Amino acid sequence: MNSGGKQVVIISQSHLCRNPRVYKEATALATAGYKVSIITTIYADDLLQQDVELLKGTGIQYLYAADLRHKSYRNMRLRLLRRISVNLVKWLGWQLPSALGYAIRGYFSLINKLPADIYIAHQELPLYIGCQLLRKGKRVAFDIEDWYSEDLLPSAQKQRPIALLKQLERFALKNGTTVYTTSQAMAKALAGAYQTPRPAVIYNTFNGKVANPIRYKDRVDLSRPSLFWFSQTLGPGRGIEILLEALTLVQQPVELHLRGNCSEAYKILLFALMERCTQHQLYLHGLVGADELNERIQEHDIGLALEPNDPPNKNLTASNKLFQYLVNGLPAIISPTLGQLEVARLAAASVFIATGFSADVLAHTINGILASPQIFEQAREALPCVIKFINWNAEQHKLVQLIAQAIEK
């Protein structure tokens, strides 16, 4: 497909290495011949270094609306404005876009210098910015990675301008030049909630290549089955406590490996819960870059994608981790959210469904797999066929077509 060198500006609000969907989208469009720029907010030197490594040789321009790595008068003002805005939302119910992120003016200053054939908005603050650009007559695509107004625990929701997010979601879905999201379940729910056309679906999958031989850095005892779970953050509300309770009912000794940022207080809680599981071993690991994460996934036997079905966003999205397990050669155990059941229908025998999100049901599922080596081997053997049609190569082709069609509108 000939892009004619058209300009695409992607608007995000997090480091590229912490949002693989933005990175995959940007590189797919750059490979297709578009001139791609990314505008975002950055926070940390080590994460910026990872971003720079990812973008080497891509020709993608990387710009910061806010650079919060260092102390400065400007950054103090940005942080103070965000803190005040969040408190005004929490205590007075004011629906302030400044509660969604940093440096709105910084974003528009860069955008005004980067006329584009189309802008692509990711995440909450860019949703607001994208709607403003639409009102100015610009072409704007919205990648609705999450259902923002229906996400997070109630305590966190109090600090978010939910009414504003709903208005923005409705406007984007009705008026966006093109809109896409992460699962058919999410697309159907968004269209039903706002009475709008259904968004397109771009699964947040990856391209995987299983190393041969696998290099073991995480696992300690290869005679024990190894269960693996990862996310950016290890914390409450992610099903980890239910998983540890389930392990008290798992008969065969296993290693459980959890990877993500973990506070000291939560680490203490996890090991306290593990005292009831003396036959098992728990290992905690920090975050790593994308390539190394793929290698670390491949060390283990079973991936865990245990999402709660509340809030609605968790129920509807197809989690990144599930795709990442599959393309890296790991059968997965999933909780029965609508988004993950959708992927399970695609992946067939390579996904084991825990029929409920409870310790008893999860333990029953794990015990069944460990007691049936033949079933597990069949699941692993089915993966090469699964990977052929849930890989990023297929999804990026759909994405490039969507953007090409949107620019021609």
- Domains annotated for the chain, with CATH where assigned, are 7-205+392-408 (3.40.50.2000), 226-387 (3.40.50.2000)
Specify whether the CB–CB gap between 144 and 123 falls below 8 A: no
Q: Higher model confidence: residue 136 or residue 348?
A: 136
State the pLDDT at residue 1: 52
Q: Quote the pTM value.
A: 0.93
First to last CA, the chain: 16
State the pLDDT at residue 2: 56
Q: What mean pLDDT comes out for the span 298-302?
A: 96
SS (H, E, C) 13-37: CCCHHHCHHHHHHHHHHHHCCCEEE
Q: In the structure, what pLDDT confidence band is assigned to residue 212 with cuts at 50, 70 and 90?
A: confident
State the pLDDT at residue 362: 95
- Residue 234 CA to residue 240 CA, distance in Å, equals 8
Residue pLDDT, tens place only, 222-246: 999 999 999 998 988 788 999 999 9
State the pLDDT at residue 238: 81
Residue pLDDT, tens place only, 64-98: 999 999 999 999 999 999 999 999 999 999 999 99
State the pLDDT at residue 370: 95
State the pLDDT at residue 185: 97
Q: What mean pLDDT comes out for the span 255-259?
A: 97
- Residue 353 CA to residue 344 CA, distance in Å, equals 8
Mean pLDDT of the chain: 94
State the pLDDT at residue 356: 85
* % residues pLDDT > 70 (the chain): 99
State the pLDDT at residue 239: 84
What is the maximal distance between C-alpha atoms in the chain? 63
- Residue 351 CA to residue 368 CA, distance in Å, equals 13
Q: Which residues 6+ apart lie within 8 Å of 133 measured at CB?
A: 111, 119, 121, 140
